């Protein structure tokens, strides 16, 4: 636990730094009410259709991410677990890897 306190300290300092940048922005830039509109006003967002293939790509990422998350603890104990652990990890990840290569060969993200 004590080893992790440093992360909280760094995050607090990061918040201070970002807050300081925001404070400088408030002091230097015109107030929102006085802000002049940009020469080209923002174009309102039109209806955007996201291809179904993109959804497939995202699902693939989720599956791969899950597989990798499961493999991370195995890497730390891989040498202790020996050949049986290696075989188990290969049996677990091989179908995922095969599926990934198959899906990628059909171009899900083009």
Partner 1 sequence: MIGLLFGAVLVLAFVVAVALPLLLWLDARQRGLVGDARVESPTARDDTGLLVYLRPFVDSLRELSRPDPIDLEAAPIAARLAPVISLFAALGAFALIPFGGRYAILSEPITLVVADPDWGVLGIVVAMAIAGLGVSLTGIAGVRTESLRGGVRAATQGTAGVLALTTSLLPMWVIYETMQPSAIGVWQDGVIPLSRLLEQAGVAVPEWWPDAVGFPAWGVFLNPLALVLFVTASLIVVGRSPFDAAFSQRDLDGGVLCELSGFRRLTMLLAGHVWTIVLAGVATLAFLGGWSIPWLSQSTLVGVIEPCFGSGFAELLCALAHVGSFVVKLGLVVFAMSSIPWPFPPLRADQVIDLCFRLLIPLGLLDAWLTTAVAIALGGDAT
Main-chain dihedrals φ then ψ at residue 13, nearest 5 degrees: -65, -40
Cβ-based neighbour number of residue 87 at 10 Å:
11
Q: How far is the CB of 31 from partner 1 (least distance, A)?
A: 8
* Residue 102 CA neighbour count, 13 Å, CB half: 6
Among 15, 59, 70, 88, contact with partner 1 (rule: CB under 8 A) = 15
3-state secondary structure of 26: helix
Cα gap 58→108, rounded to integer Å = 10
CA–CA dist 33, 38 (Å, integer):
14
Over the window 45 to 74, marking each residue x when it contacts partner 1 by CB under 8 A and - when it does not, the resulting string is xx-x-x---x--xx-xx--xx--x--xx--
Q: Count the residues of the shown chain that bind partner 1, applying the rule CB under 8 A.
A: 65
Note the residues at the interface with partner 1 (CB under 8 A): 3-7, 9-11, 13-15, 17-18, 21-22, 24-25, 28-30, 32, 34-38, 42-46, 48, 50, 54, 57-58, 60-61, 64-65, 68, 71-72, 75-80, 82-83, 85-86, 89-90, 93, 97, 100-101, 103-105, 107, 109-110
């Amino acid at each position: 636990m004590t080893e992790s306190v440093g992360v909280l300290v760094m995050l607090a300092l990061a918040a201070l730094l970002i807050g300081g940048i925001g404070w400088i922005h408030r002091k230097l830039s015109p107030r929102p009410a006085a802000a002049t509109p940009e020469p080209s006003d923002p174009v309102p967002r039109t209806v955007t259709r996201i291809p179904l293939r993109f959804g497939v790509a995202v699902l693939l990422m989720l599956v791969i991410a899950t597989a990798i998350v499961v493999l991370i603890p195995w890497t730390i104990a891989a040498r202790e677990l020996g050949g049986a652990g290696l075989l188990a990890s290969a049996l677990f990840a091989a179908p995922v890897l095969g599926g990934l290569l198959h899906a990628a060969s059909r171009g899900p993200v083009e």
